[in-house]
Structure 1
Amino acid sequence: MSAESGPYQILHDLGPRLSPNAAIHLPGSDDFARTTSRWNPGQIRPSYIASVEVGSEEDVAETIKFANRHGVPFLAQSGGHGFWKGLSDVKGGIQIYLRGLNSIEVNGRNGGKTAFIGGGTLSIEVTKTLFAIGKHTVTGLCATTSLAGPALGGGHGFLQGHYGFMADNIVSANVVLADGSIVVANKDSHPDLYWALRGAGHNFGIVTSLEYKIYDIPTGIRWTVTNYMFKQDKLEQVMATANQFIGPEMNAPRELLLWCNLIHIPAIDPDNAIVNFKVQYEGTDAQAAPFRAPFEALEPLSTTTETVTEYSKLHDAMGFGEDSVGGQRTFDVNVITASLLRFDPQAMRKFYDIISEHARTPGAGTSFGMLEVYASNGAKEVPADSTAVPPEERRSNILIGGLLVHDIGNAEQAELAWSVGSKLRAALVEGIDVAKHGKPGSYVNYANGEQSVEEMYGHEPWRLEKLRDLKQRYDPERRFRFYAPI
C-alpha cells in the first residue's frame, strides 16, 4: 500500500468495518495530532499514514487484519509514555489509539474482588473511580500512564508492598493477537500466554481489557509524606541511612516508600544538584516518626510534611500528578535505569556528580536522578516462576532512573544525553557485587533500547527460551516488535 493510496484505502476499506464509536484520523488533522501526541515527542517519532481511534475490541482486530493484508506495520498507544528508541522504527504505519477503551466495571460476581478495566484507561482514572467506592489497587507512579501498559512490563506501584506488582494483579486479559484473532488469557485459557503477558506482554498482543484485583480501602487509611532538602555534602550519609531500611537480606516495611530526586534547584544551590529525599509511610505521623528520625538527624536544609488520605493524591504528593513532568509533552528525555538491592554510597556519588554536571549544560537544566525504593514484600511473595517478570526485578529493592532532559528535536543535546546516560549506567553497575548478588536487571518499562534481553527479561536461560518459543507460536511474523523485543 503506497503512501498515496494508503489514506484512501484505509477510509474506504477499513472504515466501514469499524464500530460507530471509532474514527480514522489522517495526517494534518487536529485529531491526528491529538491522538499521536506522546511523551518524548522529538526523540520517539514513529511515522503513520493514519491513526485509528478505536471504540471497541473488534475495532482493534479489524485494524490489525487490515494492516496485515496490506503489509503495514502497526503500533498501539494508550498513555504514550514509552521511551524505547525502537518505537521510531515504525515507518508508514497505522497507530491503534486505545483511549476509547476507557472503562472500569467492578465485578459483581465475586463480591467486588476484581474489576474489568479497559486497555486505554489511565492510572489516575482507575484510582479516582475506585476511591469513590471505597476500593484501591496497585497502579503505577505516574498518574497519566495507562494501567495496562505498565502492568504488562511488571509494574511497580505504591501498594506493591501489600499486593505485589501490577502484573501480579492481572486475573485475566482480553488480547488481540498478531493475526487479528481475539483470545482470553488466564490460568485456564491460554495459560502460557497468560504467563508471558505478565512481564513481557507488549511482545504478544494488544490487551483490550483486564480483569484486575481490587481491594477494600482500610478504615482510616492515610499516608504521611515528609519531604527533605539536603545539600550534596550529605549525599553519602543519606544513602547510608536509607540502607538501614533496605538491603540484600531485608525488605522495607510494607507501609514504607523512600524516594530521592537529585535535582538542580538554583535558588538553593546554583552550582550543585540538591538531594531531595522523601519518606512516604502508610500510617499516622507518629507511626512514621521512627523512619523519619534518622534522616532528620542529618540536619536537612528544610523539612515539610503532609498527610494524604486519598490514594489518587499520592501521585501529586510524590511529584507525578496529572500536571507534573510525567504529564508534560514539551521536552525530550533519555532515561537510563538499573534495579539494585542497596545503595552503594561511592557509586551514588559518581552517579550524582555526572547528573549534577549534566544539569548545568544548556537545555539540560531540568534533568534529574530518580531513586525509587518500594516496599517489595508483596512482590517477593509471588513465586518467581509464576510470571514473566524476571527474578532480578522481584528481588530488587531500588529502582533507579536517570532522566536526561533536553530540547525537543535538538540532535546535539540528544547525543550528549545518550553519552551521559551510558556513564550513569556504568557508575551504578560498578557498585554491584555480581559474585554475591548476581547480575543486575533493568526495568523493562524504563528501558530505552540500550538494554540486553537478559537485563530486561531475566538471566535464567529457561525464561528466554520459553518466551521465544511463545513468541514463535503467537507472533511468528514478529508484528509486535517495536518495544523491547524478545
Structure 2
Amino acid sequence: MISFRSAVVCGLVHFCSLHAALAGSVSTQQIIKDLKATLSPGSEVVLTSDPAFAQDFTARFSGTHAPQFVVAAKPKLVTDVQKLIKYASRQKVPFLATGGGHGYTWSLGQLQNAIQLDLGNFQTIEVDAAGNTMKVGGAVRIGNVTQELHALGKEFPVGMCPSVGVSGLTLGGGVGPLGGFYGATSDNLISAEVVTGTGKILTASATENADLFYGIRGAGFNFGVVTSLNYRIHPATNQGRVTVVNAMFPANLSTSVWQATNKYVGHHPKELAILFAIRFNETLGGMSFVGSFIYFGPETQALEVIKPFLDLNPLYLEVINDASYSNFSSVALYGDVADIGPKKSIDFAPYTLNLYKVDVKNLVSSLNHMNATLTANLNLRPATLSWAQYSPEGYLKFPLESSAFAYRDVVVWFSYDGFTTDPAQIPALDKFGKDIRGLVQRGSGRRDLETYVHFSHGDEGPAAWYTKGKLPGLRKLKRTYDPESLFSWYNPISGY
C-alpha cells in the first residue's frame, strides 16, 4: 500500500465451537456472564455469533489470516478497559484491542478463540486551537481529525487512508505526506493514557513514565491499550489548500519514471508526496503507473516541482487545484484511496520493504518480471505495487533514539498487495508477492530486510520491524509493562 494502506482482520467463529475454544479454564458463557457483571453500565458484551456483533462492533479491513473472536466487549470507561485486561489475564484468555479496524499483518492470524476489546466508545476529539493541542480517544479515525482540524485552520501529520485509526497509526510511528514538515505522527504525541499489561492506568509522556512514552511511539501495541492521546497540532500549510495532480504512465516509460523519482532523492521538497499504484492495465495489455503528486502549496509551484514527470507526457493528466487537508486523500490516485479505505473483509496478501535508494536498473527488471508474469497469469493480475515517496526532512528533525520509531531515513515505502475476490487465489498471490519483495530487496540499499511495521506481512520478524539495535531496550520495556505477554499478536517484539 501506499501510505493509504489499511487493514487487519475479523474472523467469526460459530457458537458450536466456542465452549472448547477458550483456554479450558473458563467457558464462553461464563466469560459473557462475568464481563457483564464486571463492566460498567453502557458497556456491551456479546457473542460474535450474536447479530449485535455485526451491528455494534468494528469490522476489520482484511479477511485473510484473521484473528478469531468468540466474545466481543465494548468498554464504556477506561476503568472498564482495565477490568477487562485484568480479567483476561487472570483467566488466561487471549484478547485484542481494536480501534479503527486496520493493521493487516498476517501475524494476527495467530490469535484464535479470543475476546475483541473494541474501543468504539472512545471517540472524543478535543481541540485547543489557541494552544495548538488536540486530544483524541483511542478509536478516532484520521478522517474525523482532518475534518475537525481543517475547519479550525490546523493540521498534523496523518497517513493516506481516512478510515485508519489515529491511535493505531501513532503506535507504529505514523508515516504520511506531511511527514516532511512534522515527522512521524508519533513525533507529535505529547502524552497518552495507557492501560498496561500489568493492569495499571498510566500517563506516558516525556516527564511521566518516559520509558513507556519511548516505547509506545513506534512499538506501542506491545505494551498495553491506549485509550486517549494528546498531540501538538500546527497552523495549516497554505491555508489548508492542497494541489493534487493525478497521472498515468505506461510500462514502457518505466525507466523514465524511475529516473524521475530518483531526481528527488537527497533534495525532496517537504511540500511534495509522490505516490504510485503500479498494476496491470487490461486496456493497455500490460503494467501501468497510476500516480499522484500531492503538493501542499499552490498549483503553479506544484507543476514546476513535478516537471520531470510532466515532461514524460503521461497518458492521462488531472490537475486538482482546490483540494484541501480534509479531502486530499479522497481525490488522490483517481479516487482509489477513497474507494479502498472503507471496504471490509478484503482478501489480500501484503508484502513490503523500505527502500533507501531508487535503483533504476533493479526496479525496471522487477517490473518487467511482474509484467511478464501477469501477462501470462490472469489470476495474478489483481496484484498491485504501491510506492510512497515522502521528504525525510521532518523525520530527520528527531533523533533516532527519541522513540521506538526506527526508520527516519527511508526514501520510499514500497509495498505489494495481492488483492482478490477469490480467497482460493491467496496462496498464489502470496508466493508471487514474496518473490517480488525478494527481487526489489536486492536494490533496497540495505543488506537486511527492513519493513515499516504497519505495512508488514508478518513473516519478516522483530529485527525487520523494530531493528536489531532497538530490540533489547524494547524487550526490557516489555518485561516491565507487559510481563505476561498479553500484547503479543500484532507484529510482536518477542514472538507469539
Fold agreement, TM-score > 0.5: yes
1:338 is aligned with what amino acid? L
Give yes or no for contact 1:358–1:367 (8 Å, CA) kept in 2.
no
Counterpart of 2:435 in structure 1 is 423
The answer to whether structure 1 residue 277 and structure 2 residue 291 are counterparts is yes
**Distance in 2 between the 1:39 and 1:69 partners?**
30
2:252 is aligned with what amino acid? D
Counterpart of 2:190 in structure 1 is 171
Counterpart of 2:464 in structure 1 is 455
The answer to whether structure 1 residue 76 and structure 2 residue 97 are counterparts is yes
Give yes or no for contact 2:449–2:460 (8 Å, CA) kept in 1.
no
Q: Mark the CA change 1:181 to 1:212 in structure 2 (over 3 Å): closer, same or farther.
A: same
| Paired residues for 1:25-36 under 5 Å | 25-34=46-55, 35=57
Q: Deviations over 1:113-159 (max 9, x none)?
A: 21111110011011111112222111111111100101111110221
1:266 is aligned with what amino acid? E
| Paired residues for 1:201-240 under 5 Å | 201-218=220-237, 220-240=239-259
Give yes or no for contact 1:142–1:321 (8 Å, CA) kept in 2.
no
Q: Mark the CA change 1:190 to 1:100 in structure 2 (over 3 Å): closer, same or farther.
A: same
1:261 is aligned with what amino acid? A
Counterpart of 1:95 in structure 2 is 116
Cα deviation, residue 433, structure 1: 4.0
For structure 1, the 5+ residue unaligned runs are none
**Distance in 2 between the 1:6 and 1:125 partners?**
38
Counterpart of 1:469 in structure 2 is 476
Cα deviation, residue 372, structure 1: 0.3
The answer to whether structure 1 residue 7 and structure 2 residue 16 are counterparts is no
1:121 is aligned with what amino acid? V
The answer to whether structure 1 residue 443 and structure 2 residue 452 are counterparts is yes
Q: Mark the CA change 1:251 to 1:455 in structure 2 (over 3 Å): closer, same or farther.
A: farther
| Paired residues for 1:28-47 under 5 Å | 28-34=49-55, 35=57, 37-41=59-63, 43-47=64-68
Query: SS of the counterpart of 1:467?
Result: helix
Give yes or no for contact 2:190–2:232 (8 Å, CA) kept in 1.
yes
Q: Mark the CA change 1:67 to 1:359 in structure 2 (over 3 Å): closer, same or farther.
A: farther
The answer to whether structure 1 residue 154 and structure 2 residue 168 are counterparts is no
Q: Mark the CA change 1:124 to 1:359 in structure 2 (over 3 Å): closer, same or farther.
A: farther
**Distance in 1 between the 2:274 and 2:124 partners?**
32
2:430 is aligned with what amino acid? W
Counterpart of 2:4 in structure 1 is none
2:209 is aligned with what amino acid? H
The answer to whether structure 1 residue 382 and structure 2 residue 382 are counterparts is no
| Paired residues for 1:347-426 under 5 Å | 347-357=362-372, 359=374, 361-390=377-406, 393-410=407-424, 413-426=425-438
Give yes or no for contact 1:337–1:402 (8 Å, CA) kept in 2.
yes
Q: Mark the CA change 1:221 to 1:69 in structure 2 (over 3 Å): closer, same or farther.
A: closer
Query: SS of the counterpart of 1:273?
Result: strand
The answer to whether structure 1 residue 18 and structure 2 residue 39 are counterparts is yes
Give yes or no for contact 2:280–2:381 (8 Å, CA) kept in 1.
yes
Counterpart of 1:331 in structure 2 is 346
Which moved further from structure 2: 29-38 or 64-73?
29-38
**Distance in 1 between the 2:122 and 2:415 partners?**
30
**Distance in 1 between the 2:473 and 2:396 partners?**
22
The answer to whether structure 1 residue 191 and structure 2 residue 210 are counterparts is yes
Q: Deviations over 1:23-50 (max 9, x none)?
A: 0121222232342621111x13222221
2:492 is aligned with what amino acid? P
Give yes or no for contact 1:354–1:423 (8 Å, CA) kept in 2.
no
CA RMSD of aligned residues (A): 2.0
Query: SS of the counterpart of 1:12?
Result: helix
2:291 is aligned with what amino acid? F
Cα deviation, residue 363, structure 1: 4.7
**Distance in 2 between the 1:160 and 1:194 partners?**
20
Cα deviation, residue 356, structure 1: 3.7
1:281 is aligned with what amino acid? Y
Query: SS of the counterpart of 1:158?
Result: coil
- Determine which of 37, 62, 73 is the counterpart of 1:52: 73
Give yes or no for contact 2:331–2:338 (8 Å, CA) kept in 1.
no
> Percent same amino acid at aligned positions?
29
Give yes or no for contact 2:171–2:219 (8 Å, CA) kept in 1.
yes
1:376 is aligned with what amino acid? P
Aligned structure 1 segments of 4 or more residues deviating by more than 4 angstroms: 1-5, 319-323, 357-360
Query: SS of the counterpart of 1:80?
Result: coil
Give yes or no for contact 2:32–2:47 (8 Å, CA) kept in 1.
no
Which moved further from structure 2: 24-33 or 118-127?
24-33
Query: SS of the counterpart of 2:398?
Result: coil
Cα deviation, residue 282, structure 1: 1.4
Give yes or no for contact 1:376–1:395 (8 Å, CA) kept in 2.
yes
Give yes or no for contact 1:74–1:94 (8 Å, CA) kept in 2.
yes
